[in-house]
Structure 1
Amino acid sequence: MNTVNNQRRKASIKKIETAFLQLLQVTDMTKISVTAICQLAGINRSTFYANYLDIYDLRDCIKESLETNYLSLYDEEVVKQTQGDVFLRLCQHIKENQTLYRTYFKLGLEKTIEIAEYDNQKVLSYEGGALADYHAAFFRAGITAILKLWLENDCRESAEEVFELIKSKHL
Protein backbone atom coordinates (compact mmCIF):
# COMPACT_ATOMS: atom_id res chain seq x y z
CA MET A 1 0.00 0.00 0.00
CA ASN A 2 2.87 2.40 0.75
CA THR A 3 4.25 1.78 -2.73
CA VAL A 4 0.95 2.88 -4.27
CA ASN A 5 0.86 6.03 -2.12
CA ASN A 6 4.51 6.77 -2.90
CA GLN A 7 3.85 6.42 -6.64
CA ARG A 8 0.76 8.61 -6.34
CA ARG A 9 2.76 11.25 -4.45
CA LYS A 10 5.54 11.21 -7.08
CA ALA A 11 2.96 11.55 -9.84
CA SER A 12 1.37 14.53 -8.03
CA ILE A 13 4.74 16.22 -7.57
CA LYS A 14 5.53 15.71 -11.25
CA LYS A 15 2.17 17.25 -12.25
CA ILE A 16 2.69 20.22 -9.93
CA GLU A 17 6.24 20.89 -11.14
CA THR A 18 5.25 20.53 -14.80
CA ALA A 19 2.34 22.94 -14.37
CA PHE A 20 4.54 25.43 -12.53
CA LEU A 21 7.22 25.29 -15.23
CA GLN A 22 4.60 25.76 -17.95
CA LEU A 23 3.14 28.78 -16.19
CA LEU A 24 6.59 30.29 -15.62
CA GLN A 25 7.26 30.30 -19.35
CA VAL A 26 4.43 32.80 -19.91
CA THR A 27 3.80 34.40 -16.50
CA ASP A 28 5.92 36.20 -13.94
CA MET A 29 6.32 34.09 -10.81
CA THR A 30 4.73 36.76 -8.60
CA LYS A 31 1.53 36.46 -10.65
CA ILE A 32 1.27 32.66 -10.44
CA SER A 33 -1.22 31.34 -7.90
CA VAL A 34 -1.53 27.96 -6.26
CA THR A 35 -5.01 27.81 -7.77
CA ALA A 36 -3.63 28.23 -11.30
CA ILE A 37 -1.05 25.50 -10.70
CA CYS A 38 -3.69 23.14 -9.31
CA GLN A 39 -6.08 23.79 -12.19
CA LEU A 40 -3.38 23.18 -14.80
CA ALA A 41 -2.09 20.10 -12.95
CA GLY A 42 -5.60 18.73 -12.38
CA ILE A 43 -5.12 18.34 -8.63
CA ASN A 44 -6.69 19.67 -5.43
CA ARG A 45 -5.13 22.48 -3.40
CA SER A 46 -4.69 20.03 -0.51
CA THR A 47 -2.43 17.92 -2.75
CA PHE A 48 -0.28 20.97 -3.47
CA TYR A 49 -0.01 21.86 0.23
CA ALA A 50 0.75 18.27 1.18
CA ASN A 51 3.95 18.62 -0.84
CA TYR A 52 4.91 22.32 -0.66
CA LEU A 53 4.51 25.18 1.77
CA ASP A 54 3.92 27.71 -1.01
CA ILE A 55 5.07 28.67 -4.51
CA TYR A 56 8.47 29.77 -3.22
CA ASP A 57 9.01 26.39 -1.59
CA LEU A 58 8.10 24.78 -4.93
CA ARG A 59 10.62 27.03 -6.68
CA ASP A 60 13.30 26.13 -4.16
CA CYS A 61 12.61 22.40 -4.54
CA ILE A 62 12.91 22.66 -8.32
CA LYS A 63 16.13 24.65 -7.93
CA GLU A 64 17.57 22.06 -5.55
CA SER A 65 16.58 19.22 -7.85
CA LEU A 66 18.15 20.91 -10.86
CA GLU A 67 21.36 21.66 -8.97
CA THR A 68 21.58 18.08 -7.66
CA ASN A 69 21.01 16.77 -11.17
CA TYR A 70 23.58 19.25 -12.52
CA LEU A 71 26.20 18.30 -9.92
CA SER A 72 25.68 14.60 -10.60
CA LEU A 73 26.99 15.26 -14.12
CA TYR A 74 30.42 15.68 -12.55
CA ASP A 75 30.53 12.74 -10.15
CA GLU A 76 33.27 11.06 -12.17
CA GLU A 77 35.48 14.17 -12.08
CA VAL A 78 35.05 14.48 -8.30
CA VAL A 79 36.01 10.84 -7.72
CA LYS A 80 38.97 10.96 -10.11
CA GLN A 81 39.86 14.58 -9.21
CA THR A 82 40.01 15.57 -12.89
CA GLN A 83 38.29 18.35 -14.78
CA GLY A 84 37.36 16.66 -18.09
CA ASP A 85 34.97 18.37 -20.47
CA VAL A 86 32.64 19.71 -17.78
CA PHE A 87 31.28 22.48 -19.98
CA LEU A 88 30.51 20.06 -22.80
CA ARG A 89 28.50 17.93 -20.38
CA LEU A 90 26.76 21.07 -19.11
CA CYS A 91 25.84 22.11 -22.66
CA GLN A 92 24.47 18.64 -23.40
CA HIS A 93 22.43 18.74 -20.19
CA ILE A 94 21.03 22.17 -21.05
CA LYS A 95 20.02 21.04 -24.53
CA GLU A 96 18.20 18.03 -23.03
CA ASN A 97 16.50 20.11 -20.28
CA GLN A 98 15.79 23.43 -21.97
CA THR A 99 12.59 24.29 -20.07
CA LEU A 100 14.26 23.73 -16.71
CA TYR A 101 17.23 25.92 -17.62
CA ARG A 102 15.04 28.66 -19.08
CA THR A 103 13.20 28.65 -15.78
CA TYR A 104 16.44 28.61 -13.83
CA PHE A 105 17.67 31.72 -15.65
CA LYS A 106 14.26 33.41 -15.62
CA LEU A 107 14.18 33.15 -11.84
CA GLY A 108 17.74 34.51 -11.59
CA LEU A 109 18.92 31.40 -9.77
CA GLU A 110 22.23 31.30 -11.66
CA LYS A 111 23.46 34.12 -9.44
CA THR A 112 23.83 31.61 -6.62
CA ILE A 113 26.23 29.34 -8.54
CA GLU A 114 29.83 29.54 -7.49
CA ILE A 115 32.46 28.69 -10.06
CA ALA A 116 34.76 26.25 -8.37
CA GLU A 117 36.87 25.24 -11.35
CA TYR A 118 38.26 27.29 -14.18
CA ASP A 119 41.62 27.76 -15.83
CA ASN A 120 43.89 28.67 -12.93
CA GLN A 121 46.80 29.34 -15.32
CA LYS A 122 44.72 31.99 -17.05
CA VAL A 123 43.87 33.60 -13.71
CA LEU A 124 47.53 33.68 -12.70
CA SER A 125 48.42 35.30 -16.02
CA TYR A 126 46.30 38.31 -15.04
CA GLU A 127 48.41 40.29 -12.58
CA GLY A 128 49.71 37.13 -10.91
CA GLY A 129 46.19 36.21 -9.82
CA ALA A 130 45.62 39.49 -7.95
CA LEU A 131 42.52 40.09 -10.08
CA ALA A 132 41.15 36.56 -9.75
CA ASP A 133 37.78 37.72 -8.40
CA TYR A 134 37.32 39.98 -11.44
CA HIS A 135 38.29 37.20 -13.79
CA ALA A 136 35.82 34.79 -12.15
CA ALA A 137 33.01 37.38 -12.36
CA PHE A 138 33.80 38.02 -16.04
CA PHE A 139 33.96 34.29 -16.72
CA ARG A 140 30.61 33.61 -15.01
CA ALA A 141 28.85 36.50 -16.75
CA GLY A 142 30.22 35.53 -20.16
CA ILE A 143 29.18 31.90 -19.91
CA THR A 144 25.77 32.87 -18.54
CA ALA A 145 25.21 35.27 -21.45
CA ILE A 146 26.19 32.63 -24.01
CA LEU A 147 23.94 29.99 -22.44
CA LYS A 148 20.96 32.37 -22.13
CA LEU A 149 21.28 33.40 -25.78
CA TRP A 150 21.58 29.78 -26.85
CA LEU A 151 18.38 28.96 -24.94
CA GLU A 152 16.59 31.99 -26.44
CA ASN A 153 17.52 30.59 -29.86
CA ASP A 154 16.03 27.20 -28.90
CA CYS A 155 19.48 25.58 -28.75
CA ARG A 156 19.76 25.54 -32.55
CA GLU A 157 23.51 24.99 -32.38
CA SER A 158 24.81 21.70 -31.11
CA ALA A 159 26.12 21.33 -27.57
CA GLU A 160 29.56 20.74 -29.09
CA GLU A 161 29.46 24.05 -31.00
CA VAL A 162 28.52 26.02 -27.88
CA PHE A 163 31.16 24.19 -25.85
CA GLU A 164 33.82 25.08 -28.45
CA LEU A 165 32.73 28.73 -28.30
CA ILE A 166 33.01 28.80 -24.52
CA LYS A 167 36.30 26.92 -24.62
CA SER A 168 37.83 29.26 -27.18
CA LYS A 169 36.79 32.38 -25.28
CA HIS A 170 37.28 31.41 -21.65
CA LEU A 171 39.11 28.20 -20.96
Structure 2
Amino acid sequence: MNTMANKRFQENEKKIQESFISLLNTYDVNQITVRAICEKAKINRSTFYAHYQDVYDLLDRLEIAMNNKIVAQYKGREIDEIFFISDEFFIPFLDFISKNQIFYKACLQKRKSFPISQGFEALWNIVIKPISLKHGITSEDEMMYYFVFFQAGITMVLKRWVDNGCIETPSEISSYIMNCLSRFR
Protein backbone atom coordinates (compact mmCIF):
# COMPACT_ATOMS: atom_id res chain seq x y z
CA MET A 1 0.00 0.00 0.00
CA ASN A 2 1.30 3.45 -0.98
CA THR A 3 0.90 5.58 2.15
CA MET A 4 2.43 8.88 3.23
CA ALA A 5 5.05 7.09 5.33
CA ASN A 6 5.93 4.85 2.41
CA LYS A 7 9.27 5.58 0.71
CA ARG A 8 7.71 5.30 -2.75
CA PHE A 9 4.96 7.76 -1.82
CA GLN A 10 7.59 10.24 -0.63
CA GLU A 11 9.70 9.75 -3.77
CA ASN A 12 6.66 10.39 -5.97
CA GLU A 13 5.80 13.51 -4.00
CA LYS A 14 9.33 14.80 -4.50
CA LYS A 15 9.15 14.05 -8.25
CA ILE A 16 5.83 15.91 -8.50
CA GLN A 17 7.21 18.95 -6.67
CA GLU A 18 10.45 19.03 -8.67
CA SER A 19 8.57 18.65 -11.97
CA PHE A 20 6.19 21.44 -11.02
CA ILE A 21 9.02 23.81 -10.05
CA SER A 22 10.83 22.93 -13.26
CA LEU A 23 7.72 23.78 -15.29
CA LEU A 24 7.49 27.12 -13.48
CA ASN A 25 10.74 28.08 -15.23
CA THR A 26 8.90 28.06 -18.54
CA TYR A 27 5.20 28.52 -17.81
CA ASP A 28 2.99 30.66 -15.58
CA VAL A 29 1.23 28.64 -12.90
CA ASN A 30 -2.13 29.00 -14.66
CA GLN A 31 -0.63 27.35 -17.76
CA ILE A 32 0.62 24.25 -15.94
CA THR A 33 -1.63 21.22 -16.07
CA VAL A 34 -1.73 18.04 -14.02
CA ARG A 35 -1.02 16.22 -17.26
CA ALA A 36 2.18 18.20 -17.87
CA ILE A 37 3.37 17.55 -14.32
CA CYS A 38 2.63 13.83 -14.66
CA GLU A 39 4.46 13.59 -17.99
CA LYS A 40 7.51 15.38 -16.60
CA ALA A 41 7.49 13.33 -13.38
CA LYS A 42 6.77 10.11 -15.33
CA ILE A 43 3.83 9.19 -13.10
CA ASN A 44 0.14 8.46 -13.62
CA ARG A 45 -2.56 11.04 -12.96
CA SER A 46 -3.91 8.84 -10.16
CA THR A 47 -0.53 9.12 -8.44
CA PHE A 48 -0.71 12.91 -8.66
CA TYR A 49 -4.25 12.92 -7.24
CA ALA A 50 -3.14 10.68 -4.37
CA HIS A 51 -0.95 13.60 -3.32
CA TYR A 52 -2.79 16.77 -4.41
CA GLN A 53 -6.26 17.92 -5.39
CA ASP A 54 -4.99 20.06 -8.27
CA VAL A 55 -2.12 22.31 -9.35
CA TYR A 56 -3.16 25.08 -6.93
CA ASP A 57 -3.25 22.66 -4.01
CA LEU A 58 0.31 21.66 -4.94
CA LEU A 59 1.33 25.33 -5.09
CA ASP A 60 -0.32 26.10 -1.73
CA ARG A 61 1.27 23.14 0.03
CA LEU A 62 4.68 23.89 -1.46
CA GLU A 63 4.31 27.48 -0.27
CA ILE A 64 3.67 26.24 3.27
CA ALA A 65 6.76 24.00 3.07
CA MET A 66 8.91 26.85 1.73
CA ASN A 67 7.63 29.22 4.41
CA ASN A 68 8.52 26.62 7.04
CA LYS A 69 12.06 26.61 5.63
CA ILE A 70 12.21 30.38 5.97
CA VAL A 71 11.00 30.21 9.57
CA ALA A 72 13.57 27.48 10.33
CA GLN A 73 16.33 30.02 9.58
CA TYR A 74 15.31 31.90 12.71
CA LYS A 75 15.03 28.94 15.10
CA GLY A 76 16.81 29.67 18.35
CA ARG A 77 16.67 33.43 17.77
CA GLU A 78 14.78 35.63 20.12
CA ILE A 79 12.29 37.41 17.92
CA ASP A 80 11.19 40.81 19.14
CA GLU A 81 9.87 43.90 17.40
CA ILE A 82 13.36 45.40 17.02
CA PHE A 83 14.77 42.26 15.40
CA PHE A 84 11.70 41.75 13.23
CA ILE A 85 11.97 45.21 11.69
CA SER A 86 15.70 45.06 10.92
CA ASP A 87 18.16 44.16 8.18
CA GLU A 88 19.20 41.22 10.35
CA PHE A 89 15.70 39.78 9.85
CA PHE A 90 14.97 40.89 6.29
CA ILE A 91 18.25 40.05 4.51
CA PRO A 92 18.16 36.24 5.17
CA PHE A 93 14.42 36.27 4.36
CA LEU A 94 15.02 38.13 1.08
CA ASP A 95 18.04 35.97 0.24
CA PHE A 96 15.84 32.86 0.53
CA ILE A 97 13.19 34.44 -1.71
CA SER A 98 15.85 35.40 -4.26
CA LYS A 99 17.22 31.84 -4.35
CA ASN A 100 13.67 30.53 -4.91
CA GLN A 101 12.36 33.40 -7.02
CA ILE A 102 10.72 31.24 -9.71
CA PHE A 103 8.60 29.55 -7.08
CA TYR A 104 7.77 32.78 -5.24
CA LYS A 105 6.89 34.52 -8.49
CA ALA A 106 4.20 31.88 -8.98
CA CYS A 107 2.99 32.23 -5.38
CA LEU A 108 2.82 36.00 -5.52
CA GLN A 109 1.16 35.90 -8.95
CA LYS A 110 -1.88 34.14 -7.48
CA ARG A 111 -1.97 36.22 -4.27
CA LYS A 112 -5.54 37.31 -3.69
CA SER A 113 -5.92 36.74 0.03
CA PHE A 114 -4.35 37.78 3.30
CA PRO A 115 -0.61 37.35 2.66
CA ILE A 116 0.33 35.79 6.00
CA SER A 117 -2.00 33.12 7.24
CA GLN A 118 0.59 30.99 9.01
CA GLY A 119 2.52 32.71 11.75
CA PHE A 120 -0.16 35.38 12.03
CA GLU A 121 -0.24 35.28 15.84
CA ALA A 122 3.51 35.73 16.26
CA LEU A 123 3.68 38.72 13.91
CA TRP A 124 0.61 40.21 15.56
CA ASN A 125 1.81 39.68 19.15
CA ILE A 126 5.52 40.41 18.67
CA VAL A 127 5.40 43.29 16.21
CA ILE A 128 2.09 44.90 15.33
CA LYS A 129 0.38 45.02 18.73
CA PRO A 130 3.42 46.27 20.75
CA ILE A 131 4.27 48.95 18.18
CA SER A 132 0.64 50.04 17.97
CA LEU A 133 0.35 50.26 21.76
CA LYS A 134 3.63 52.21 21.89
CA HIS A 135 2.01 54.74 19.52
CA GLY A 136 -1.18 54.98 21.60
CA ILE A 137 -3.33 52.78 19.36
CA THR A 138 -5.45 50.58 21.61
CA SER A 139 -8.24 49.50 19.26
CA GLU A 140 -7.54 46.03 17.85
CA ASP A 141 -9.68 46.91 14.83
CA GLU A 142 -7.40 49.85 14.07
CA MET A 143 -4.33 47.68 14.71
CA MET A 144 -5.63 45.19 12.15
CA TYR A 145 -5.67 47.92 9.49
CA TYR A 146 -1.99 48.60 10.20
CA PHE A 147 -1.33 44.87 10.05
CA VAL A 148 -3.03 44.52 6.68
CA PHE A 149 -1.11 47.55 5.41
CA PHE A 150 2.18 46.08 6.66
CA GLN A 151 1.54 42.68 5.08
CA ALA A 152 0.21 43.98 1.78
CA GLY A 153 3.06 46.47 1.44
CA ILE A 154 5.78 43.89 1.97
CA THR A 155 3.97 41.37 -0.24
CA MET A 156 3.78 43.87 -3.12
CA VAL A 157 7.45 44.84 -2.68
CA LEU A 158 8.32 41.13 -2.95
CA LYS A 159 6.06 40.72 -5.98
CA ARG A 160 7.67 43.64 -7.81
CA TRP A 161 11.13 42.36 -6.91
CA VAL A 162 10.59 38.79 -8.15
CA ASP A 163 8.66 39.97 -11.22
CA ASN A 164 11.77 42.00 -12.12
CA GLY A 165 14.06 38.98 -11.63
CA CYS A 166 15.45 39.99 -8.21
CA ILE A 167 17.83 42.44 -9.87
CA GLU A 168 18.41 44.36 -6.65
CA THR A 169 20.31 42.63 -3.85
CA PRO A 170 18.51 41.46 -0.71
CA SER A 171 20.38 44.23 1.12
CA GLU A 172 18.99 46.90 -1.24
CA ILE A 173 15.42 45.61 -0.91
CA SER A 174 15.83 45.42 2.86
CA SER A 175 16.89 49.06 2.92
CA TYR A 176 13.83 50.04 0.83
CA ILE A 177 11.57 48.17 3.26
CA MET A 178 13.34 49.69 6.25
CA ASN A 179 12.88 53.19 4.79
CA CYS A 180 9.16 52.53 4.34
CA LEU A 181 8.85 51.15 7.87
CA SER A 182 10.88 53.90 9.54
CA ARG A 183 7.74 55.92 10.25
CA PHE A 184 6.11 52.87 11.82
CA ARG A 185 8.80 52.29 14.44
- Asked if these proteins are the same fold (TM beyond 0.5), I'd say yes
Cα deviation for residue 112 of structure 1 reads 4.1
Give 1:99 shift. 1.6
**Matches for 1:136-151 after TM superposition, within 5 Å:** 136-151=147-162
**Does structure 2 conserve the Cα–Cα contact (< 8 Å) formed by 1:66 and 1:100?**
no
- Report the Cα distance in structure 1 between the residues aligned to 2:113 and 2:102, rounded to whole angstroms: 15
Matched-pair identity in % = 32
Deviation, structure 1 residue 56: 4.1
Pair 1:97-2:100 in alignment: yes
Cα distance in 2 between the residues matched to 1:121 and 1:82: 10
TM-score, normalised by the number of residues in structure 1: 0.75
Query: Gaps spanning 5+ residues in structure 2: where?
Result: 1-5
What TM-score comes out, normalization by structure 2 length?
0.71
- Among 88, 91, 99, the alignment partner of 1:88 is 91
Structure 1 window deviating more from structure 2 (16-25 vs 35-44): it is 16-25
| CA displacement 1:9-58 (0-9 Å, x = unmatched) | 444222211332344562453x5432221112222223323333443432
Q: Structure 1 stretches of 5 or more lacking a match?
A: none
The equivalent of 2:47 in structure 1 is 47
In structure 1, the residue matched to 2:3 is none
Give 1:140 deviation, angstroms: 1.7
Structure 1 vs Structure 2 CA RMSD: 2.8
Following superposition, the deviation at residue 158 of structure 1 comes to 1.0
Q: Aligned pairs, how many?
A: 162
Aligned to 1:165: 176
Closer, same or farther: CA 121–104 of 1 in aligned 2, 3 Å:
same
Structure 1 or 2: more helix by fraction: 1
Whose relative contact order is higher, 1 or 2, with alpha carbons under 8 Å and at least 6 apart?
2
